[in-house]
Structure 1
């Protein structure tokens, strides 16, 4: 299948491209915008941290069984049930040592998978049970990311991790978390987010936090259009002014076949596309939570061909038993994508990141394009 770039132009490859297998995809430079810190722990780390902190609520005692349990429990078809699995990971992330270790290993694991830039999010308000303050939670997590970046460099890998601070949409601390994000934005925090159950907890409940971010010229994204559909997306854009849509997969509900069979965009879908509002799509997770029925039926390809700003993401690597390479391979298998497509999705992500423009450009020109040139042959 010919690749289609963001302007709709057919892109062709020359020479001998590398086979599109997992090993080669892992070597490709990748950018990740939607990854939850508490959804990406190594099963072995969960077991060890649980022993260290005295948490005895794990549903399995060994790492292999626990990893299978997370995957099977998250594969529920319900966002609410999917979110219940996080009780176990959050429980072991309540100490300085635990937070640093999880953040360090996150950076190491992403770098080993070829991710050169990642924005990793978590909710500081969920890590206070052992007496840490919000500031201490952020400080220890940022230190862990820096340790992971250093370890990756020592292993010959390049990665930069930016942190997104998340407020829980069912709670009432979003303004406080927004202030925290601004306070640490020169130390590795690149933005703000809200997450949690969409139904009954619209983003407009947190307008004060979003207004604070805008007043301080700070970036934010909003989980919207995963479980609740178009109303959630509309509020996130029209009332809250989000920079990106966390998931946003249900924007496809505003796209319908016209009389001639070609897709016709409704006003909201057209606005999202025309304003180049990035979609943080998470294919495997979207299947697990019931947002879509299967990877083959995921609207990713429809949205990509209609020239939405689509990006590929992991969401929760532990719960989905996934990685960026596996997410890309799943899309390759489902839709016949080539290296040019994967390069485009990666550049989309970097264009949409919360890095300064010159730093985004440097990663695209100096890392991503040369990396894919080798794979394209």
Structure 2
């Protein structure tokens, strides 16, 4: 009877339905002043950090400092340096772009277990290696850092620096770098690393998922990594701060947009003689940024130059987000549809919908209009590097080549099945 009564109680008790997770917009409204300030300052800091935005006077001062640093790095080489002077010597040589001496000094410095600037020294070492195009050695340095140091905001920044430079140029190396970090990263996601907040770690973990998708890894590998991340999230025993929760929600939104149609957008006006048609090519690049992005003024011209090198299977557009509440451009800066580079303007809030956290924001879609890649990027991706390669174009060609291979494999399979069918 007591068992029956308990069963009846369980059946009649109102069990509250699980509430849906708050959206990124709802979480944004809960951000503290410090996070709002950081968010507002981020575009300004990025503009200041971009040497392309510096004045001629600042560039002259930088060139002078680099030349003098190179001379002094070479002059001081024969003398032995230890401790913090060894670290300062590595910094001096880095400013002078003497990468061999930078690497030697930085890698000697990190061997001292009590050295206080080891994360920064690893940063200098991988910077030197990347400039010398020693990608494999960079991975060895990351493994060494993973062995010697805990995952902190400083060491996490070293991984992010490496990923930012290799993840799309050499996707397999980017994934290898991310996988070195992944075990400690998942510990931080679950809240078991007091040195790195769970939300910051989760953002990095979602980024690995994006890289696996872009590199077209097998579904089992992608699903396995996603399951590991979800288990780490479920293992948390304390809620995220408002700042961490918002950052994680935006990162998840960005990942979940991959493979789905790009959000529809109106074209409120265009610039340039080339008219926009909504028809899709085999691969389509959209470079998104808000109308008030002062450092983005050169993007339309860069995209126009890039477009000239594309074949008929690809297209590229600057896509400028117009925000109604912002001050309108002056008449002098109003686009001239006859002479300005082709540019699209829209009132759609695409940057928010796609989880952009910085601009310019690169979106690549396929012939079906599905998002294949979306990421914060650099204006430098639109320009030729020292080898004559344009990273944005390389990324586009990778998608076309993969889809061609998929179609070819499907056709071969269909032909084989037709031949083997009984007559």
TM-score by length of 2: 0.29
Structure number with the bigger relative contact order (C-alpha 8 A, sep ≥ 6) is: 1
Tell me which structure has the larger Cα radius of gyration.
2
Considering fraction of residues, name the structure with more strand. 1
